[in-house]
């Protein structure tokens, strides 16, 4: 059969789908985007004949550079950073997709992503998705059609893998007309958002001398590119700020104190060069009113503190929340969540919430006795570390307000409500080589880099959590042969050998827990066999999230009822987002491989998803 055509001003027949693609391509080119295959010379004639050129000139003028004001109060249709807003919520006010119609979601398009560990978050702005791929590949994709507009493949040294540097890329930043990222080989760089051409780059660390993994990208705080990193040597354990327009370095803050600096005494007589691995490897949050950046840090290397000067030392600033002055990088306050002997990092998302504080003693384990129930506070809350413990602090001062566990854990025995001081369980603290302990959670949590979300509609945080434990042994001697069991792992960096298992008393690895930010009460709990992954909350009363078995689903944010589900085949390893374009709301999620997906698969060997790196986009059926 002959396909339907459309006659325009008697010129010639044009297929409708081709018409749409070419119009969109023409608009993108007019905006300055480099488009791969567009018949512009033909389409200009069509547009002129139809009198459509003036309307597209207006569209061109609407493509404006991204400003600090836009980042600090983004338009509902945009997703301009990792968790959409600088407060880390992972929430969109879009409400076209609701609890009533979510069952009508359908796939619009999908496309394959590059090989490697896929944990990316797309940005959505002005009809374009900017997608970080593994190994420093960045793509600009038409958000409606899925067509590739441009692709930037950074020239990465071949030996970065030999240096132990991983190639996952969780997020990008956008500012002015730049797409900004940090690279595997130790740079911060900016691309022209219209073409993908390199605009500027600045070396932060020589990757051959200072191994620093850039698994996560930056945020923008008042025109400054703020980035952290995983690290080994103390000189590489830095948080940095760069001018977002020029790449000029403005400040850098080490997370390990040197001789004579505050916190130096917490390392005892450990030489500075042996103070290692306090990384800030996830994405910060930022409060513009307080001008404070909030970032979390990781464990030391080795993890057992008897190997590092003694178990009585705090080893600042590992496993802490740091509140940094955004202009100078100075530490305004810090709070240490755990003196970590097991690799239970605390670098994950910090939720900045203004809320009444009324922790319920029946459900919250540790409460500051000075709290006046119901008082309004500016808090920093969430589950910042692998222990699965919720911590709520005053975000202006760092004062401890309340904390409570959400999963099986035996590494913390007490938290002093008056001071916030944490007491570790001495029964599982390593004191010598060859010692074995049974600790919960294990090194992938509890909670890990997969992000939770917060909804202001319910004043509730939603967290993807896992029920895991491990038998651990402190050692510096490892066999050269690979472990024979999928549940075994070894870490020379942390000097621990692990045998992982599901926590006693359950067969389910994955949960989603809804926790009141005001009271600490669990509002609802969803449990399942396989591990759960990152979440997204929306103004439609929904929480979206996936799992290690490729299921992507929508929950009712008030009850936890599953309202919609689809099998995407591979672990939901990316961070889901939603955006709107020309009045239509879209939902985006990525699948693929990740270290946690491989780990959790070992705990549920009967579940065998594929491992394809793909991006999927959904909208309501018309």
Is 1 a member of any domain?
no
**What is the chain's alpha carbon radius of gyration, rounded to the nearest angstrom?**
25
536 contacts 511 by C-beta, under 8 angstroms: no
Is 0.85 surpassed by the pTM of this model? Answer: yes
Range of the domain at 441: 70-620
Strands 496-502 and 285-287: unpaired
pLDDT at 196 over 60: yes
> What integer pLDDT is reported at residue 211 of this predicted model?
84
Helix, strand, or coil (residue 172):
coil
584 and 523 assigned to the same domain? yes
55 and 76 assigned to the same domain? no
146 and 19 assigned to the same domain? no
Burial class (CB within 10 angstroms; exposed 0-12, middle 13-18, buried 19+) of 621: exposed
pLDDT at 322 over 60: yes
Q: Single out the residue of 221, 187, 255 nearest to residue 327, CA to CA.
A: 221
257 and 314 assigned to the same domain? yes
The C-alpha atoms of residue 482 and residue 489 are separated, in whole angstroms, by 9
> What integer pLDDT is reported at residue 481 of this predicted model?
82
401: left (phi over 0), alpha (psi -120 to 50) or beta: alpha
pLDDT band at 85 (very low <50, low <70, confident <90, very high): very high
Is 561 a member of any domain?
yes
Give the tens place of pLDDT for each residue, 205-255: 998 898 888 889 999 999 999 999 999 999 999 999 999 999 999 999 999
Is 80 a member of any domain?
yes
Is 215 a member of any domain?
yes
Q: Which two tokens stand for residue 531?
A: 């591990």
231 and 304 assigned to the same domain? yes
pLDDT at 376 over 60: yes
477 and 495 assigned to the same domain? yes
Cross-strand partners of 112: 614
Phi and psi for 264 in degrees, rounded to 5?
A: -55, -40
> What integer pLDDT is reported at residue 190 of this predicted model?
98
Give the tens place of pLDDT for each residue, 447-470: 999 999 999 999 999 999 999 999
130 and 22 assigned to the same domain? no
Q: Single out the residue of 465, 595, 467 nearest to residue 532, CA to CA.
A: 465
The C-alpha atoms of residue 490 and residue 324 are separated, in whole angstroms, by 34
- Looking at the structure of the chain, the number of domains it has is 2
430 contacts 341 by C-beta, under 8 angstroms: yes
Considering the chain, what percentage of its residues have pLDDT values greater than 90?
82
Is 572 a member of any domain?
yes
pLDDT at 164 over 90: no
> What integer pLDDT is reported at residue 163 of this predicted model?
58
pLDDT band at 598 (very low <50, low <70, confident <90, very high): confident
The C-alpha atoms of residue 533 and residue 538 are separated, in whole angstroms, by 17
SS (H, E, C) 492-504: CCCCEEEEEEECC
pLDDT at 186 over 90: yes
pLDDT band at 62 (very low <50, low <70, confident <90, very high): low
Domain boundary pick from 38, 63, 88: 63
pLDDT at 2 over 50: no
Give the tens place of pLDDT for each residue, 90-147: 999 999 999 999 999 999 999 999 999 999 999 999 999 999 999 899 999 999 999 9
Domain boundary pick from 25, 48, 63: 63
Overall average pLDDT of the 177-203 stretch: 97
90 and 190 assigned to the same domain? yes
97 and 27 assigned to the same domain? no
> What integer pLDDT is reported at residue 168 of this predicted model?
83
38 and 126 assigned to the same domain? no
357 contacts 371 by C-beta, under 8 angstroms: yes
Give the tens place of pLDDT for each residue, 261-302: 999 999 999 999 999 999 999 999 999 999 999 999 999 999
284 and 418 assigned to the same domain? yes
The C-alpha atoms of residue 382 and residue 211 are separated, in whole angstroms, by 30
Is 242 a member of any domain?
yes
With a CB cutoff of 8 Å and minimum separation 6, the contacts of 278 are: 231, 234, 237, 255, 256, 297, 298, 299, 300, 315, 317, 318
Give the tens place of pLDDT for each residue, 536-592: 999 999 999 999 999 999 999 999 999 999 999 999 999 999 999 999 999 999 999
Average pLDDT along the chain: 90
Considering the chain, what percentage of its residues have pLDDT values greater than 70?
89
CATH number of the domain residue 165 falls in: 2.140.10.10
Q: Which two tokens stand for residue 365?
A: 């384990």
243 and 202 assigned to the same domain? yes
Burial class (CB within 10 angstroms; exposed 0-12, middle 13-18, buried 19+) of 14: middle
Is 498 a member of any domain?
yes
């Amino acid at each position: 059969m002959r396909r339907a055509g459309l006659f325009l001003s008697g010129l010639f027949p044009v297929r409708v789908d081709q018409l749409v693609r070419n119009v969109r391509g023409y608009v993108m080119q007019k905006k300055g985007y480099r488009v791969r295959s567009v018949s512009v010379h033909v389409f200009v004639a069509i547009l002129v004949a139809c009198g459509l050129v003036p309307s597209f000139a207006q569209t061109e003028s609407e493509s404006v550079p991204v400003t600090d004001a836009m980042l600090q109060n983004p338009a509902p249709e945009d997703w301009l950073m990792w968790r959409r807003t600088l407060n880390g919520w992972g929430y969109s006010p879009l409400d076209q997709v609701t609890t009533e119609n979510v069952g009508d979601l359908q796939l619009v398009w999908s496309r394959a992503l590059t090989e490697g560990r896929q944990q990316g978050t797309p940005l959505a702005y002005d009809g374009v998705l900017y997608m970080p791929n593994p190994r420093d590949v960045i793509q600009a994709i038409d958000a409606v059609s899925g067509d590739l507009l441009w692709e930037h493949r950074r020239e990465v040294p071949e030996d970065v893998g030999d240096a132990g540097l991983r190639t996952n890329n969780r997020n990008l930043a956008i500012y002015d007309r730049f797409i900004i990222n940090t690279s595997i080989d130790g740079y911060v760089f900016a691309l022209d958002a219209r073409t993908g051409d390199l605009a500027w780059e600045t070396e932060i660390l020589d990757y051959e001398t200072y191994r620093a993994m850039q698994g996560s990208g930056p945020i923008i705080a008042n025109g400054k590119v703020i980035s952290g990193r995983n690290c080994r040597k103390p000189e590489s354990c830095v948080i940095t700020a760069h001018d977002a327009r020029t790449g000029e370095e403005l400040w850098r803050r080490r997370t390990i104190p040197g001789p004579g600096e505050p916190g130096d005494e917490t390392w005892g007589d450990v030489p500075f060069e042996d103070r290692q691995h306090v990384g800030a490897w996830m994405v910060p949050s930022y409060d513009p009113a307080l001008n404070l950046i909030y970032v979390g840090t990781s464990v030391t290397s080795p993890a057992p503190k008897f190997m590092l000067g003694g178990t009585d030392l705090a080893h600042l600033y590992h496993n802490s929340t740091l509140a940094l002055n955004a202009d100078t990088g100075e530490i305004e306050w810090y709070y240490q969540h755990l003196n970590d002997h097991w690799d239970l990092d605390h670098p994950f998302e910090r939720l900045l919430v203004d809320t009444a504080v009324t922790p319920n003693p029946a459900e919250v384990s540790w409460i500051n006795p000075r709290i006046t129930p119901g008082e309004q506070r500016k808090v920093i809350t969430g589950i910042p570390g692998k222990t699965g413990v919720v911590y709520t602090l005053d975000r202006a001062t760092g004062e401890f307000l309340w904390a409570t566990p959400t999963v099986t854990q035996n590494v913390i025995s007490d938290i002093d409500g008056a001071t916030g001081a944490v007491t570790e369980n001495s029964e599982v603290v390593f004191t010598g080589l060859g010692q074995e302990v049974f600790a919960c959670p294990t090194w992938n949590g509890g909670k890990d880099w997969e992000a939770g979300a917060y909804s202001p509609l319910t004043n509730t945080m939603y967290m993807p959590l896992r029920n895991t434990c491990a038998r651990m042994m402190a050692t510096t001697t490892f066999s050269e042969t690979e472990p024979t069991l999928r549940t075994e792992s070894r870490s020379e960096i942390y000097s621990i050998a692990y045998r992982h298992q599901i926590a006693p008393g359950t067969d389910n690895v994955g949960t989603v827990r809804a926790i009141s930010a005001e009271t600490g009460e669990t509002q609802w709990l969803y449990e399942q066999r396989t591990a759960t992954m990152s979440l997204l909350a929306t103004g439609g009363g929904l929480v979206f999230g996936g799992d290690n078995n490729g299921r992507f689903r929508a929950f009712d944010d008030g009850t936890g009822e599953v309202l919609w589900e689809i099998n995407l085949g591979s672990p939901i390893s990316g961070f889901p987002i939603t955006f709107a374009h020309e009045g239509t709301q879209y939902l985006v999620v990525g699948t693929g491989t990740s270290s946690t997906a491989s780990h959790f698969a070992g705990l549920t060997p009967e579940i065998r998803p594929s491992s394809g790196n793909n991006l999927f986009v959904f909208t309501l059926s018309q």
